[in-house]
Structures are given as C-alpha cells and as structure tokens.
C-alpha cells in the first residue's frame, strides 16, 4: 500500500516537474536577478515617466489598460486613447489571488490621451444600483468616423463575476453609459476579453476551482490548481443577441490558468496566456465560426498576464517574473516589491530559420536586456522573444499589461499592485 502511494506520488511529482519545472525553478523558487529598470528605447531615467492621479490617487492597481482607437473614413487611425481600469481596493478584494474581504469600494476608469498626455476620469452612467464595480480584463471596439463604441469589462462583483457592457461616445468620451450586465453559469472565472465584433468576444476563464468556493476549498483548491499548473481552465466565445441573450461556446479547453487573450488585427489568429506554464499559446481562428485550432506555443521568461497585438503585428506580452513576490505585495508584507517584464513576440521568417535549422532552437536570444529572456525560456523555431521593459520592482512593479503604440514607439505599462501608469517614450 505504502509502496503504491509512493509510486503514485513520485509519478505525479515527475509529471509536475516535467511540465512546470522551468516555471517552478525560475519564477517561484528563485528570484530572477533583474535590474532596477531597463527600457529597450534608451535610458529609462530619460525615457520613462509614471503618470498618476495626483489629487485622489485613484490610478492605482490597474489590472488592465486598453487602446480606444478612433478611425477615419479610410479606417486610418485618427486618434488614440488609453482606457485604464484601476481598483485601489484590490488588496481587500481580489477574486483571483484573494482576499475576499471587502467588495464595497468602487473601482475607477480613466482615459489618457496619447496625443496630449492629459488624463480624465470616466464616469459610470446608468450603472445598476447596488452592483459592485471591480474591473479586470476589458476591451473597447474602435470608433469609426465618430460612431459610439461598445466597451466590455470583466467585473469581479461580490456574488459572481459578470461582464459589463457600456457605450463610449467620442462626443462625450468621459462618460461610460451602462447597457447591460452579462451573466451566465458558464462565467466561472472570467479574466480577459478580446472582441470579435461590437457584440461578440472571446473570454478566458482562469480557474475551474475558484476563491469563491466555500471554506476550506476556496483557499486551497485554486492554489493547488495554480501551483501544479493543472490544465483545467478554458477560453470561450460569446455572442450577444439583440435581446441580450448569450450564445456561449467553449473553444479551447485544458489550458493551465488561461489569462490574457487577444485577436490579431487581420482576425486570423488568437493568442492566449497559459500563465502557470509560462507560455503563450497561438491558435488559428476560423473567422466564420470563431472556432480555434492550436498552432504554436512560445515560452516566455515570466508568468504571462495580459497580451495585445501591436499595430505592426507583434504580440506584446506582460507578466510576473516571480510569483511569491506578487503574493507578498498583495498580502501587504512590509517592504515587499514584485518585478515587471514586458516582451514582444514575433514570428521568424522561414529563411532565417532555414539557415541553421538544427542549432536554431539552441540559440541564445534577447541579448540586449540585462537579464536576457534566453536565460529562462528556451528558444523556439517559430518565434523570437525580445525584452521591451524589465524592472526588479523598484522603478515599476507587478506589471500586468503592456501596450505598444507603434506609430510613436511608446510603451504603456500598468501594474496589478502599482501606483500610476508607466509611459516610456521613443528616442
């Protein structure tokens, strides 16, 4: 009997180490030796600033930021804003990492103009009475020639996680008018959304077993699911009918901690963070059915959180280099800081690859960065990973989302438990 148990335990441990040994070694058990800060565009002290809400300090703990693009008649980009979802109360209410102490204080939306650098608070109009507001993933459809945009925000409300639908009108850009609350028994743990039309989207669910489970399960099972990188989470596609009814289908299952999701600009590809595996999955997308077919997986040197496709097609991936530090910051441990890391992922052309197919996966890459991604994540044949920003947390910590405006070469980063938004300009 004992022999059997030991055998089973050993096999499970071997599988665990085989699957997530790299992440356990580099992102859990040891602290990556990151610099104070590094920015690919030049000296961070000259290029980077942190924009804040100087009066009330509400641009804090922004899990997600996203571009709101205004297009002209020819679908060219005319104006671009950054929309920020910030929850200064996150240390009292976080349904992914805990705790679940106080859902009462409302979170904040802000609008940042990439042209003028001005900041404006966004009001929630027509918001249902008594309904909490705790934004996580969000995305807003581009406005075409002044038309209003649909905005979707994952909301960690107290009873369950919902998705709030708003309208943003370019004539009154600082008012988010609430349209409806989307709720479904399938919304077990929504985290991130990626729109496929003004009324349909992909939504990741990060855990099968959540913090919302009754005690003691809520405090143990999600941690086991995370630490063992159990492939229990999924990506779904949701279409909203004109009457508000939802059509829901699961398009990818068996993902360890499905987190950030993004659709490529031509609509043919979907990328998804598999956080606890330290990898980003790429899928080919059928644009008439929204079904997905797995195509590639690319390891990154941290636990990937939110992702976005930049204008030039690169996938921008941001995340957490050291999980225990994030937990320490979340738990308010004195002096705790947690690192930040943003990379780009680009497909490699066949000709580059053909040169030395055999040794290509053994190559060192990302050699400009003080801590090269290469030191942690093995190279792959299909994609190249390059560091855009990294910090040990002393300059900017707990990075959750990075956005790149390719027109100007500007990088925007928000931090799960960080104050303000990092803006790094071009040379």
Ligand X SMILES: *[C@@H]1O[C@H](CO)[C@@H](O)[C@H](O)[C@H]1NC(C)=O
Binding site for ligand X (CB under 6 A): 157, 159-160, 183-185, 286, 288-289
Rounded to an integer, what distance in angstroms lies between the CA atom of residue 151 and that of residue 153? 7
Give the CA angle between residues 14, 15, 16 to the nearest 5°: 90
Is the Cβ of residue 49 or residue 181 nearer to ligand X in the bound state? 181
Rounded to an integer, what distance in angstroms lies between the CA atom of residue 129 and that of residue 135? 17
Phi first, then psi, for residue 300 (nearest 5°) are: -125, 160
Strand order in the sheet with 303-309: 38-39, 383-391, 340-347, 315-320, 303-309
Is the Cβ of residue 91 or residue 285 nearer to ligand X in the bound state? 285
Q: Residue 376 burial by CB count (10 A; 0-12/13-18/19+): exposed, middle or buried?
A: buried
The gap from C-alpha 343 to its chain's centroid, in whole angstroms, comes to: 13
User: CB of residue 267 vs ligand X: minimum separation in angstroms?
Assistant: 11
Category of 98 on φ-ψ map: left (φ > 0), alpha (ψ -120 to 50) or beta: left
User: CB of residue 160 vs ligand X: minimum separation in angstroms?
Assistant: 4
Beta bridge partners of 178: 166
Is the Cβ of residue 112 or residue 201 nearer to ligand X in the bound state? 201
User: CB of residue 185 vs ligand X: minimum separation in angstroms?
Assistant: 5
Is the Cβ of residue 26 or residue 134 nearer to ligand X in the bound state? 134
User: CB of residue 159 vs ligand X: minimum separation in angstroms?
Assistant: 4
Is the Cβ of residue 180 or residue 363 nearer to ligand X in the bound state? 180
User: CB of residue 246 vs ligand X: minimum separation in angstroms?
Assistant: 11
Is the Cβ of residue 128 or residue 426 nearer to ligand X in the bound state? 128
User: CB of residue 265 vs ligand X: minimum separation in angstroms?
Assistant: 18
Rounded to an integer, what distance in angstroms lies between the CA atom of residue 260 and that of residue 264? 13
Is the Cβ of residue 128 or residue 370 nearer to ligand X in the bound state? 128
Task: Read off the DSSP letter of residue 128.
Answer: P
User: CB of residue 107 vs ligand X: minimum separation in angstroms?
Assistant: 16
User: CB of residue 288 vs ligand X: minimum separation in angstroms?
Assistant: 5
Is the Cβ of residue 185 or residue 242 nearer to ligand X in the bound state? 185
Give the list of residues 6+ apart from residue 101 with CB closer than 8 angstroms, or none. Answer: 92, 93
Give the list of residues 6+ apart from residue 135 with CB closer than 8 angstroms, or none. Answer: 63, 64, 85, 86, 87, 107, 109, 153, 154, 155
């Amino acid at each position: 009997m004992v022999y059997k148990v030991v055998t089973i335990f050993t096999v499970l441990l071997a599988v665990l180490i085989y699957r997530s040994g790299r992440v356990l070694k580099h992102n859990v058990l040891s602290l990556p030796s990151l610099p104070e800060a590094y920015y690919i565009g030049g000296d961070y002290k000259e290029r980077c600033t942190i924009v804040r809400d100087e009066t009330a300090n509400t641009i804090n703990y922004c899990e997600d930021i996203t571009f709101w693009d205004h297009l002209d008649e020819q679908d060219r980009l005319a104006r671009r804003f950054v929309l920020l979802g910030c929850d200064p109360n996150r240390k009292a209410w976080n349904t992914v990492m805990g705790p679940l102490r106080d859902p009462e204080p409302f979170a904040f939306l802000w609008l940042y103009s990439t042209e003028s650098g001005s900041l404006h608070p966004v009001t929630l109009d027509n918001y249902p009475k008594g309904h909490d507001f705790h934004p996580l993933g969000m995305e807003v459809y581009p406005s075409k020639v002044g038309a209003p945009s649909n905005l979707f925000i994952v909301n960690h409300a107290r009873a369950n996680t919902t998705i709030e639908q708003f309208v943003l009108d370019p004539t009154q850009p600082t008012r988010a008018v609430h349209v409806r609350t989307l709720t479904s028994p399938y919304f077990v743990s929504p985290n991130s959304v990626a729109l496929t039309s003004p009324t349909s989207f992909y939504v990741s669910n990060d855990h099968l077993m959540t913090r919302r489970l009754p005690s003691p399960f809520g405090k143990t099972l999600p941690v086991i699911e995370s630490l063992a990188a159990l492939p229990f989470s999924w990506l779904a596609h949701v279409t909203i009918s004109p009457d508000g009814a939802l059509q829901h289908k699961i398009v990818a299952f068996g993902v360890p901690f499905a987190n950030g999701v993004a659709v490529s600009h031509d609509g043919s590809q979907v990328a998804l963070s598999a956080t606890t595996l330290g990898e980003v999955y790429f899928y080919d997308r059928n644009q008439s059915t929204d079904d997905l077919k797995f195509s590639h997986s690319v390891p990154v040197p941290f636990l990937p959180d939110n992702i976005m496709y930049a204008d030039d097609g690169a996938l921008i991936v941001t995340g957490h280099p050291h999980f225990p530090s994030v937990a320490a910051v979340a738990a308010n441990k004195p002096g705790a800081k947690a690192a930040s890391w943003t990379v780009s992922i680009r497909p490699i052309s066949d000709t580059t690859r053909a040169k030395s197919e055999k040794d290509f996966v053994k190559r060192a890459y990302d050699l400009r960065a003080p801590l090269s991604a290469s030191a942690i994540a093995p190279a792959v044949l299909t994609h190249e990973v390059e560091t855009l920003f990294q910090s040990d947390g002393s300059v900017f910590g707990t990075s959750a989302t990075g956005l790149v405006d390719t027109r100007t070469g500007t990088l925007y980063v928000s931090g799960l438990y960080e104050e303000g938004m990092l803006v790094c300009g071009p040379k």
